[in-house]
Structure 1
Amino acid sequence: MRIIDAHHHFWKYTAEEFGWIDDSMSAIRRDFLPADLKSAMDAAGVDGVISVEARSILGETGFLLEHARQNPWVYGVVGKAPLSQGKSAVEEYLAKTLPGADKLVGVRDVLQGSPIEVFSDATFNDGLSALAPHNLVFDLCIYHNQMQATIELVDRHPEQRFVLDHIGKPNIKDNVLEPWATQFRSLAERDNVFCKLSGMVTEADPTNWTAEQLQPYFDTALDAFGPKRLMFGSDWPVCLVGVEYPDWLSTVKTLADGLSESEQADFYGNTVLKAYRIDAD
């Protein structure tokens, strides 16, 4: 069975660009580059990965694409585009970026913490409308209290494929399921939306979490999306504040113990290839 990690980051650390890494996350205040990840992948038995932007700057797309060109086990890149500047700006940016960038499979805007008004902003939505004609996914990075606005955003773009990062960041730390679970199930009714089973440890207490605590959230995600639209992800190196890479995969295997062989093949590999339309054969 092929295992593909649907969500990780590379970076060269600077305090200015990574201000979100606070003192509680000091363990990841350093560079994380392909050699570091390959070592962790080999220890865990992971075959390939998707690189996702982490700095919310346009220049990061080229940085990630260069690593992808040099490392065949990086199957795809989710980069950045100037969505907030509207469709013409996105088209101009993609015209410069896409030639020779076969591994650019998606775009992300970190919407978590953004005002709800951003989700309905006309210029932002105009920019987002430029992605589907280029076969690019839009990764949704939100907090659980933005789920309803996310549903409305998705409904404005029925031709666009979306991937929800980190199961929508529910309040795992306080063991709160609602209203996240109900709204999450509603989002999953849109068949153009996929979901990453990632980022759960950091939404719990990274120093005091258990697989049992995560189980209800995994069960909700699996029931809502099914293994053909739910995919494994690590959120490495962010996950390292609470769990090592091989241990996270072992935890997920415990959570997903009831999956059949064919369901495991989808959850751990086939779904990410389908969502991002990657030919990795």
Structure 2
Amino acid sequence: MIDTHLHVWDTAAVRIPWLNDAGLPAKAVIPDRQDRRFVLVEADATDPAEEADWLIGVADATPSVHGVVVSVPLEKPLVSEWLERVADIPQVVGVRRLLQDRDLFDSIAFLDGLKRLAACGLPFDACVRDYELPRLLTLIEQVPELTVVLDHMGKPDVRDAAARDRWARNLARLAERDAVYCKLSGLPAECRDADELECCAADILDVAIGTFGVERCLIGSDHPVSQDPSDWCDRVLARLPAAQHSAVAVNNAMNVYQRR
């Protein structure tokens, strides 16, 4: 299995101030799992280049790491230089620039950065909240050649039925675009506790899988930001027939996050 969304960090080496406020540990390491490989995903460090270098070093030293999704400030003037640098690094398999709660959807500079990213052939991890999905769609419609991975199923609201209905409709609109994939991840972090997760996980996963189909879904633990008392990746696979496990657990990740 390839877990396509694992966070690792060491705040002694990389500055990530929000971790302390979120009650997360100062250090997070790669789980010792013989049955899994991992895609390491950036964690919104103060200095994206510092974090990228550190993650690439971890990947280079760790056989279980398939690749790294690094942060690149796509709206900044030096984006071309950033992208040229990371595109030549074999361990880099994707780029993420957090969009949730940030005023980047209407940025001409950010749009230009996405176009440059598409020209590099790297996929973009899009992390947004449920009510931001329409703005994401408007943005990526302007870059049809870009491969987009929707992180955390678009962060559905687990407590508001009307918001869940809107999320499902907006998810379906995104799924109309063949170059958009859905990462089955992040739900535990949206839930207050294990009971709430247990109540909503099956329904939300079924909607996401049914909307995108097994050929465009990937699996990701979002550990340790997301904490599932059971194993989240196994929870996801339990919603699928055994014959479809390889697509969601391995094949789609290999196709989207290609090593160079």
TM-score by length of structure 2 reads 0.91
Task: Tell me the equivalent position of 1:17.
Answer: 16
Task: Tell me the equivalent position of 2:123.
Answer: 137
Note closer, same or farther for the CA distance 1:252–1:97 as it changes in structure 2 (3 Å cut): closer
How far did residue 16 of structure 1 move? Answer: 6.2
Task: Tell me the equivalent position of 1:273.
Answer: 254
Asked if 1:67 corresponds to 2:66, the answer is no
**Cα distance between partner residues in 2 of 1:110 and 1:147:** 13
**Cα distance between partner residues in 2 of 1:91 and 1:208:** 46
Task: Tell me the equivalent position of 1:156.
Answer: 142
**Cα distance between partner residues in 2 of 1:231 and 1:157:** 22
- Which residue of 189, 204, 216 corresponds with 1:217? 204
**Cα distance between partner residues in 2 of 1:235 and 1:103:** 19
**Cα distance between partner residues in 2 of 1:131 and 1:16:** 25
Counting only pairs closer than 5 Å after superposition, residues 173-188 of structure 1 correspond to structure 2 as 173-174=159-160, 176-188=163-175
**Cα distance between partner residues in 1 of 2:246 and 2:15:** 40
How far did residue 21 of structure 1 move? Answer: 4.6
Task: Tell me the equivalent position of 1:109.
Answer: 97
The answer on whether the counterparts of 1:173 and 1:203 sit within 8 Å (CA) in structure 2 is no
**Cα distance between partner residues in 2 of 1:21 and 1:165:** 23
Note closer, same or farther for the CA distance 1:13–1:180 as it changes in structure 2 (3 Å cut): same
**Cα distance between partner residues in 2 of 1:80 and 1:192:** 20
Task: Tell me the equivalent position of 1:259.
Answer: 241
The answer on whether the counterparts of 1:173 and 1:205 sit within 8 Å (CA) in structure 2 is no
- Which residue of 17, 27, 32 corresponds with 1:31? 27
Structure 2 SS opposite 1:217:
helix
The answer on whether the counterparts of 2:92 and 2:259 sit within 8 Å (CA) in structure 1 is no
**What number of residue pairs does the alignment pair up?**
256
How far did residue 122 of structure 1 move? Answer: 0.5
Note closer, same or farther for the CA distance 1:79–1:210 as it changes in structure 2 (3 Å cut): closer
Q: Deviations over 1:15-68 (max 9, x none)?
A: 96232553xx42x222012xxx232x34xxx42110110024222111111111
Counting only pairs closer than 5 Å after superposition, residues 47-86 of structure 1 correspond to structure 2 as 47-56=36-45, 57-86=48-77
Q: Deviations over 1:141-168 (max 9, x none)?
A: 0000100000011101011101000000
How far did residue 13 of structure 1 move? Answer: 3.0
Task: Tell me the equivalent position of 1:4.
Answer: 2
> Among the aligned pairs, what percent are the same residue?
31
The answer on whether the counterparts of 2:90 and 2:259 sit within 8 Å (CA) in structure 1 is no
TM-score by length of structure 1 reads 0.84
**Cα distance between partner residues in 1 of 2:98 and 2:20:** 15
Counterpart residue type for residue 31 of structure 2: K
Task: Tell me the equivalent position of 2:193.
Answer: 206
How far did residue 207 of structure 1 move? Answer: 4.5
* C-alpha RMSD of matched pairs (Å): 2.0
